[in-house]
Amino acid sequence: MRRALQAVFFAALVRPFLTLFIGLRVRGREHLPAADPFVLIANHTSHLDTVALLSLFPLRRLGRIRPVAAADYFLAGKARAWVSRTLFNILPVARRKVTRANNPLAVMRAALAVGESLILFPEGTRGQNGEPGRFLPGVAHLAEACPEVPIVPAYLVNLGRSLPKGTVLPVPFFAEVRLGPPLHPTGTRDEILAALEAAVSELRDAE
Amino acid sequence: MTVPPLTPVLTMSAVVLGLLVVSTLVVWLLRWLRPEGRWDELADRVKAWWVMAAVFLGAVAVHPAVSLVVFALMSFWALKEYVTLLRTRPQDHATLFWAFAAVPAQYWLVHIKWYGVFIIFIPVYVFLLLPVTLVVARETKGFVASASQIHWGLMAFVFGLSHLGYLLQLPALPGRTADGRALVLFVVFVVEMSDVLQYVWGKLVGRHKVLPTVSPNKTWEGLVGGVLSAALLAWPLRFLTPFAPLQTVLVALGVCVAGFLGGAVMSAVKRDFGVKDFGALIPGHGGMLDRVDSLCWSVPLFFHYVYWACY
């Protein structure tokens, strides 16, 4: 039932909104893996980021794609929790009071292990001024723990202007999703982190 | 409500169809005669004209409400292309939202034919209210730039272009079949033909640049040849207008010059933004703004001349 609602939501509202209102363009669509699981990483400036990235997939795949989202924010309040779980199929992770049981890394590994793909914003939160922030180390831990899972870098242009942090009404700006080739980074965690940051910034600078 | 007779629309559709067929044949002929030439851009442009002509003629033919929705989408898309290239500040968010909200409001005024408000809504009310929404955002650095840039876009692409809608709403004059729809087809056809013919003349015999720093592709030969030939094309189309024969040609001359100036202004805007095209909506043409720039200038002038002279 939940997945059917999500499919209807994306077909009837999200896609027309992104096509007609925003005018979203996608570059490098061929880099999207045809099979799950994979990890899609991107810079983060807007709630529209998750919406735009999910819209790249066929409706029937949506059930297996989990945006990793902060439980303290997205599950706060009944309405927001319902929207997050039903319409966006989030994978809630703890940002505070992390214990062995709710360790985000374990939660994400478990999802990948059952064949679900992740959408992950390694900055951990939405940036304010459009410049991508530094990645938190979690993504490097994940890459190290699951070396067989491809990591697809993405850079999102202008969505942060359409719906920046702290606003509720979207303004139409042409926006773009730029996707890069899948990566299997190796080395130390610092090297992995640097490689992933570099892959995303490279897409930012690709004009 | 009775829908006016289709005759002028059908006649113009036939004319446009004929031109498109001829242009397509010319492109094939060029490809066949000189296969080494680079005809891809030309072919793209002609193909895009097929689509644009079909959409526009369809929008005008079906129903006035459909035409207004299509014109409103043209304004919306053009404003979006402009705003995307602006250096906006985060504090402009709410103001931009209201600027976009002015698009449906303006076309709704056209729809209900409330001329008195249609003509002052953006120049007076929106002009006064937009800076107030910026004051509410409480950031003074860049205030004047934001207030002026945003309103400038509204004037050009929403207020200016919405005259096309009000033109459409004009009734047929007593004793004539040609109504507002015929006037819309007249002005759009003449201005777009002027754009095309300026390009053709410029490519064929263009030598002396008109505006080397603003728009290096525009030449005197293209300008004079294009505007004059488009004005002559208007002569057989006077059945679409309430004008006398000579008057038709003079009006066409005026709107073609205005269209050229509109294109030149938008070239300067593109230079300022450091881009070649406003977008990638129409293959070979660029964005919506690259196609409607000349209309934003010529249509308001044409409308006010017709309104003053005939209504």
Residue for token digits 């208007």?
A: B234
Which are the contacts of B21, defined by CB distance < 8 A and separation ≥ 6?
none
- Chain B environment of A161 (Cβ under 8 Å): 88
Q: What is the model's pLDDT at position A46?
A: 93
Q: B75 CA to chain A: closest CA distance, Å?
A: 13
Q: What ipTM was assigned to the predicted interfaces of this complex? A: 0.88
Q: Which of B127, B151, B180 is nearest to B306 (CA)?
A: B180
Is A172 within 8 Å of B100 when comparing Cβ atoms?
yes
In the CATH scheme, what is the homologous superfamily, with its name and number, of domain A2-205? Glycerol-3-phosphate (1)-acyltransferase (3.40.1130.10)
Distance CA B235, CA B222 (A): 20
**Would you call B114 helix, strand, or coil by DSSP?**
coil
Q: What is the model's pLDDT at position A131?
A: 67
Q: How far is CA B198 from CA A51, B76, B213, B260, in A?
A: 44, 27, 18, 9
Which are the contacts of B296, defined by CB distance < 8 A and separation ≥ 6?
B78, B156, B157, B160, B161, B262, B266
Closest residue in A to B99 (Cα) is: A171
Q: What is the model's pLDDT at position B254?
A: 97
- Chain B environment of A158 (Cβ under 8 Å): 84
Is A164 within 8 Å of B76 when comparing Cβ atoms?
no
Q: How many CB pairs under 8 A join A and B?
A: 31
Number of helices (H) and strands (E) in chain A: give both, helices first.
9, 7
Q: What is the model's pLDDT at position B280?
A: 75
Tokens of A168: 């509720």
Q: Which of A74, A65, A192 is nearest to A122 (CA)?
A: A192
Distance CA A40, CA B277 (A): 32
Q: Which of B240, B129, B135, B137 is nearest to B182 (CA)?
A: B240
DSSP codes of every residue in B123-179: IIIIHHHHHHHHHHTT--TTHHHHHHHHHHHIIIIIIIHHHHHHHHHPPPPTT----
Other CB atoms within 10 A of residue A46 CB: 22
- Chain B environment of A207 (Cβ under 8 Å): none
Phi, psi of A134 (to 5 degrees): -70, 150
Q: What is the model's pLDDT at position B6?
A: 57
Tens digit of each residue's pLDDT (9 = 90 or more) over A134-170: 899 899 999 999 999 999 999 999 999 999 988 999 9
Q: What's the whole-number average pLDDT of chain A?
A: 92
Phi, psi of A69 (to 5 degrees): -140, 145
Which amino acid appears at position B147 of this protein? A
Query: Nearest Cβ partner of B84 from A158, A169, A170?
Result: A158
Is B80 within 8 Å of A174 when comparing Cβ atoms?
yes
Q: Which of B55, B59, B60, B47 is nearest to B20 (CA)?
A: B47
- Chain B environment of A18 (Cβ under 8 Å): none
- Chain B environment of A23 (Cβ under 8 Å): 77, 80
What are A91's strand-pairing partners? A68
Kindly give the interhelix angle for B180-205 and B220-234, rounded to the nearest 10 degrees: 150
**Would you call B253 helix, strand, or coil by DSSP?**
helix
Query: Nearest Cβ partner of A173 from B76, B83, B94?
Result: B83
Closest residue in A to B280 (Cα) is: A25
Tens digit of each residue's pLDDT (9 = 90 or more) over A23-45: 999 999 999 999 999 999 999 99
Is B97 within 8 Å of A174 when comparing Cβ atoms?
no
Please report, in tens digits, the pLDDT of each residue of chain B (311 residues total): 555 555 788 889 999 999 999 999 999 999 999 888 888 888 999 999 999 999 999 999 899 999 999 999 999 999 999 999 999 999 999 999 999 999 999 999 999 999 999 999 999 999 999 999 999 999 999 999 999 999 999 999 999 999 999 999 999 888 777 789 999 999 999 999 999 999 999 989 988 999 988 888 899 999 999 999 999 999 999 989 999 999 999 999 999 999 999 999 999 999 999 888 887 777 777 889 999 999 999 999 999 999 999 88
Other CB atoms within 10 A of residue B303 CB: 22
Query: Nearest Cβ partner of A161 from B77, B88, B100?
Result: B88
Is the minimum CB–CB distance between A82 and chain B shorter than 8 Å?
Answer: no
**Over 70: is that where the pLDDT of A130 sits?**
no
Distance CA B136, CA B92 (A): 10
**Can you give the residue ranges of every domain in chain A?**
2-205
Q: What is the model's pLDDT at position A129?
A: 63
Is B90 within 8 Å of A174 when comparing Cβ atoms?
no
